[in-house]
Amino acid sequence: MAVDNMPETPKKTLNFIEAIVEQDIKDGVNNGRIQTRFPPEPNGYLHIGHAKAICMDFGIAQKYNGICNLRFDDTNPVKEDVEYVDSIQEDIQWLGYKWANVYYASDYFQQLWDLAVRLIKEGKAYVDEQSAEVIAQQKGTPTQAGTESPYRNRSVEENLDLFMKMTNGEIEDGKMVLRAKIDMANPNMHFRDPIMYRIITSHPHHRTGNKWKVYPMYDFAHGQSDYFEGVTHSICTLEFVVHRPLYDWFIDQFAEGDYRPRQYEFNRLNITYTVMSKRKMLQLVKEGLVAGWDDPRMPTICGLRRRGFTPESIHSFIDKIGYTKVEGTIDLGLLEHSVREDLKAKAPRVCAILDPVRMVITNYPEGQKEEFTVEENADNPELGNRKQIFGRELYIERGDFMEDAPKDFYRLSPNGREVRLKNAYIVKATGCEKDANGNVTTVYCEYDPETKSGTEGGNRKVKSTINWVETESCLKAEVRLYDRLFAVEDPSASDEDFRSQLNPDSLKVVKNCCIESALKDAKPGDHFQFLKQGYFVVDKDSTADNVIFNRTVSLKDNWAKKA
Ligand code: ATP
Ligand code: MG
């Protein structure tokens, strides 16, 4: 990994893993060498929780002149696929990280198998012919010892012979497993003869094809892989705390010398109004409840990207939540806040009319057009200026006009009140036209030519400013208003199926929105603030003929009020 010079300035307090690493460096552990890995199973797309782990694994290596490898934990061919391998690499790079090497647990299948044979020969592993259910029943409880398998005391020869048969594909899936012979009464349930190998003949592996018929379990693969690679700090989430003694035990069975990888655990990220289990996300995708892994409502990295989140917004979110040893759930509002904060100065602020009604300025010369030069973003002069076309006929938001308006309605109404058109003139409504159903079709108004923004008359203050676009020049676009995927804070909490908790209003598609002509050249991934509406991004499926904007987030948190 490219290593930047460590910034000397802002001295943030260390998280507890950084403190451990600094102490190890001070103590000369592993000669001060720092090596981490990010170990996804390629059985789905990465989500925002993985981003938390990625920022930790890559962040530690970056900060302490170490390396971080990407290791695919590909020990279960039934669920894994190259599609996932590719997407994982893309997402890590998008977050701004570079791995030193790409490794695969499947690179170690032979080494792991050799170790298994060694353990059999040492009388530390045996082939069990019981079903998975029976083995689970015999596990006991934390306070009650388990029951030993009747196959536990086979001879080494018999075990070797059976393991060879398993390996050669002579035994059906599920008929036998290889188990470590440790201690069926150990208070740590993971020591009660854990399964090391199972038979999978039905699915070819995405890398090794049909070569292997037996596959190592997580506990038998992870620590050894860390050891083979020279990992110093193997960082994972808290559910692995109970696996740690077994992680150490397997390594101790064969490791020589002083070097040992060490496992450390932090709290996983949970967020309200979403689900982050890959199984549940896959269900949403497969059942068509979302448009795919990168549906902008998904908590996946690719979904967030398509929604308009920036890598910077994700980093600032991860910085805010920090790393601890206590599980908890983070309010989705905090993630949304991070992207608002990031886009505030980055995104040009433009007029986009989502529910347009035509407006005619009756005293503006017919056929005349003006081109105003307007600031892209008042908070960021570096973004420069753009052109905005003005003319006699405009579109304004339907909600900005009311024929019979109450006193406290400060926008357009034929009541003599004046309103400023953003970046343009002050106007006064004079009346409107309606269709047979009473819907307003055209608003009529008059403008005051002396009140152009940027001139002296432009300083005149009125109660409100409204957005507009010129009818002939404007861009017609599809706008997708995304909201939270689930209607409840914790969709997995109740007895009801999580799919019944989906927010029915999580997507509203608005066709024929009218947007400033300057956005005609916008490209997928470009961010904008639609004034008074929120932040939007050009969707990846957007074309010149069908321009699509996705709402990243509204300007304010509408859910905070509801709660
Ligand atoms: P799932 O259980 O949904 O399949 P997983 O946790 O098994 O997901 P992995 O691909 O094994 O997914 O995860 C790779 C790494 O990312 C692991 O080190 C894991 O601890 C970490 N990770 C996964 N989910 C989270 C999360 N919500 N918060 C923080 N880290 C996570
Ligand atoms: Mg996992």
Amino acid 496: pLDDT: 82
214 CB-contact burial (10 Å; exposed 0-12 / middle 13-18 / buried 19+): buried
Band of the pLDDT at 18, cuts 50, 70, 90? very high
pLDDT digits (tens, 9 = 90+) for 211-253: 999 999 999 999 999 999 999 999 999 999 999 999 999 999 9
Q: How confident is the model at residue 349 (pLDDT cuts 50, 70, 90)?
A: very high
With beta carbons less than 8 A apart as the criterion, state whether 221 and 195 touch. Answer: no
Q: Band the pLDDT of 500: cuts 50, 70, 90.
A: very high
Say if ligand 1 is within 6 A of residue 311 CB.
Answer: no
**Ligand 1 test: best mutation among 54, 218, 237, 265, most atoms within 8 Å of CB?**
237
Q: What's the rounded Cα separation, in Å, for the pair 443 and 393? A: 10
Provide the greatest CA pair distance for the chain. Answer: 102
CB 207 near ligand 1, within 6 Å: no
Q: Give me 450's structure tokens.
A: 């002396």
- Residue 168's nearest CA partner among 104, 106, 113 is 113
End-to-end Cα, the chain, rounded Å: 44
On the question of pLDDT at 1 being above 50, the answer is: no
92 lines ligand 1 (CB under 6 A): no
Cβ-contact 547, 475 below 8 angstroms: yes
Our answer on whether the CB atom of 267 is closer than 6 Å to any ligand 1 atom is: no
Strand 527-530: give its sheet, edge to edge: 349-350, 527-530, 534-538, 547-554, 475-482, 507-515, 352-353
The token pair at 348 is 């040009």
Q: Which helix (H) or strand (E) holds 20?
A: helix 16-27
How far is the C-alpha of 69 from the C-alpha of 92, rounded, in Å?
A: 11
Q: Is the pLDDT of residue 375 over 70?
A: yes
Dihedral angle computed from the Cα positions of residues 423, 424, 430 and 435, in that order, rounded to the nearest 10 degrees = -70
Per-residue pLDDT reduced to its tens digit, 81-140: 999 999 999 999 999 999 999 999 999 999 999 999 999 999 999 999 999 999 999 999
Distance 40 CA to ligand 1 centre (A): 7
41 vs 230, 279, 294, 474, 557, CA distance in Å? 20, 12, 18, 47, 35
Mean pLDDT over residues 62-89, rounded? 97
Q: What is the pLDDT of residues 134-183, one digit of tens each?
A: 999 999 999 999 999 999 999 999 999 999 999 999 999 999 999 999 99
Average pLDDT, the chain: 96
Contact present, 34 and 61 (Cβ < 8 Å): yes
Cα of 331 vs centre of ligand 1, distance in Å, is 19
pLDDT-based confidence at residue 3 (cuts at 50, 70, 90): very low
Cβ of 281 below 6 Å from ligand 1: no
Residue 562 has pLDDT above 90, yes or no: no
Exposed/middle/buried for residue 341 (C-beta within 10 Å: 0-12, 13-18, 19+): middle
Closest residue CA from atom 26 of ligand 1 = 49
Q: Tens digit of pLDDT for each residue in 515-529?
A: 999 999 999 999 999
pLDDT of residue 9: 54
Of all ligands present, the nearest one to the C-alpha of 40 is 1
- Segment 437-457 shows an average pLDDT of 96
Tokens matching residue 398: 């339907």
- Alpha helices by DSSP H, 102-243: 109-121, 132-137, 156-167, 218-229
User: Does ligand 1 lie within 6 Å of residue 276's CB atom?
Assistant: yes
Cβ neighbours of residue 446 under 8 Å, at least 6 residues apart? Answer: 361, 362, 363, 427, 428, 430
Give the ligand 1 atom nearest the CA of 42: 10
**DSSP symbols for 233-267:** EEEEEGGGGGGHHHHHHHHHTT--SS---EEEEEP
Q: Is the CB of 318 under 6 A from ligand 1?
A: no
Whole-number pLDDT of residue 311: 98
Per DSSP, 500 falls in state G
pLDDT tens-digit map of 24-36: 999 999 999 999 9
Q: Phi/psi at 310 (nearest 5 deg)?
A: -105, 155
Q: Determine the pLDDT at residue 296.
A: 98
- For residue 11, name the pLDDT band (cuts at 50, 70, 90): low
Burial 218-247, CB ≥16 within 10 A → b, else e: bbbbbbbbbbebebbbbbbbeebeebbebb
47, 56, 70, 310, 549 from 95: Cα distances, Å:
12, 12, 14, 9, 22
Q: What is the pTM of this model?
A: 0.94
Q: How far apart are alpha carbons 546 and 476 in whole angstroms?
A: 8
Q: Give the residue-averaged pLDDT of 187-191.
A: 96
- Please report which confidence band the pLDDT of residue 533 belongs to, taking 50, 70 and 90 as the band edges: very high
CA distances from 468 to 224, 389, 397, 471, 526 (A): 64, 10, 7, 9, 21
Q: Give which of 482, 474, 476 is closest to 550, Cα–Cα.
A: 482
- What are the start-end ranges of the E strands in 338-460? 349-350, 352-353, 356-361, 369-375, 385-391, 393-397, 418-421, 426-434, 440-448
- Cα-to-centroid distance, 550 and ligand 2 (Å): 32
- Tell me the best of 50, 78, 88, 235 to mutate to test the pocket of ligand 1, counting ligand atoms within 8 Å of each CB and taking the most: 50
Average the pLDDT over 247-268 and give the result: 97
Asked if 553 and 340 count as a contact pair (C-beta separation under 8 A), the reply is yes
Averaged pLDDT, 263-278: 97
Q: Whose CA is nearest to atom 4 of ligand 1?
A: 278
pLDDT average, residue stretch 384-411: 96
Catalytic residues: 41, 268, 278
CA–CA distance, 417 with 408 (Å, rounded to integer):
11
Q: What is the DSSP letter of 56?
A: H
